[in-house]
Amino acid sequence: MKSNKVIQFIIAIAGLLLITFGASQYQAVENNDGSLHLWILDIGQGDSILIDTPEHQQILVDGGRGSAVLSELSKTLPLTDKEIDLVISTHDDADHMGGLNEVLKHYKVDKIWLTGAVGTTKTYLTFLSLIAEKHIPTEKIMAGSKISFGSLQGIVISPLQNYDGITPESQNATSVVMFWQYGSETFLLTGDAETPQEQEMIARGVLRHANILKVSHHGSHTASSEEFLKIVNPEITAISVGKGNSYGHPHQEILDRLKNLNIPVLRTDQDGAVRFDITLNSYSYKTGL
């Protein structure tokens, strides 16, 4: 039986006609060019993504592993800006959550989104301890959760299940997938969602075209199925991955699939941090940052 929240989500996604996401000088200055900046940060083997709106609101999605995220944030934000409006923890794996612990120690965080799935690692327990110590408001999210920052609209499209209080067999299965829209431009952030989650989203009819796709699970062959890629039909993709990592990410199978579908690929291990500059009707990007 579908929960009321999932039913509300299906109604919400059906009403979203477009939820479709780019170069500018790399420097830690105020965002004064009127565009939204989407950063795929170069934090090694892991994920960390910063969204910086024209109104100087920041959303940080994951923090990679360790303190690399702090040096990346110091390059992308003014030195005087030590406040982040929203932190989204896609799931409890250390290569996504570990750096968030460093962020909580050094930045004022106004709110945290997480699924509520239970982890058992020291990284996870430290995360909860810091949230409690700093009295940071949290919201447990699942498909249907929505948020707005001016002209930026975001909606969670996975997980479809409520994981609050549940210890999952796979943390990747709980990974938050979010569809964002700014004007006519859209981008899809996928965490480490894998093929079973892609199939669930396809079955529910919640996927649609996105201009920019953050490739899931660092380009692992456990995600980015051909059917998923054809539905999203991105104009460009970005893979957050560490140079010479022990997992062999990104897997050649996925690189070949993207090439066969004529989808360009940017990689943090080869291109460094990537910055997309997104206006209400176009985007550009710069690499090597």
- Residue-wise pLDDT for 208-219, tens only, equals 999 999 999 999
Residue 36, in any domain of the structure: no
Residue 165, in any domain of the structure: yes
Digit-coded pLDDT (tens) for 121-144: 999 999 999 999 999 999 999 999
Residue with tokens 């923890």: 89
Digit-coded pLDDT (tens) for 65-84: 999 999 999 999 988 899 99
pLDDT at 19: 41
Instruction: Decide: helix, strand or coil at residue 259.
Output: helix
Digit-coded pLDDT (tens) for 82-107: 999 999 999 999 999 999 999 999 99
pLDDT at 289: 82
Domain count, the chain: 1
pLDDT at 34: 79
Q: Where are the beta strands (DSSP E) in 14-132?
A: 36-40, 49-52, 58-61, 83-84, 86-88, 108-109, 112-114
Residue 192, in any domain of the structure: yes
Residue 28, in any domain of the structure: no
Residue 289, in any domain of the structure: no
Q: How confident is the model at residue 28 (pLDDT cuts 50, 70, 90)?
A: very low
Which pair of structure tokens corresponds to residue 287? 């690499």
CA distance 43 to 71: 9
Which pair of structure tokens corresponds to residue 194? 């894998």
Phi, psi dihedral angles at 5 (to 5 degrees) = -65, -40
Q: Is the pTM of this model over 0.85?
A: yes
- Report which residue type is found at 196: P
Which position has the higher pLDDT, 52 or 22? Answer: 52
Statement: residue 13 has pLDDT above 80: no
Residue 86, in any domain of the structure: yes
Q: How does the average pLDDT of the chain come out, rounded?
A: 91
Residue 190, in any domain of the structure: yes
CATH of the domain at 84: 3.60.15.10
Residue 35, in any domain of the structure: no
149: containing domain: 4-17+43-284
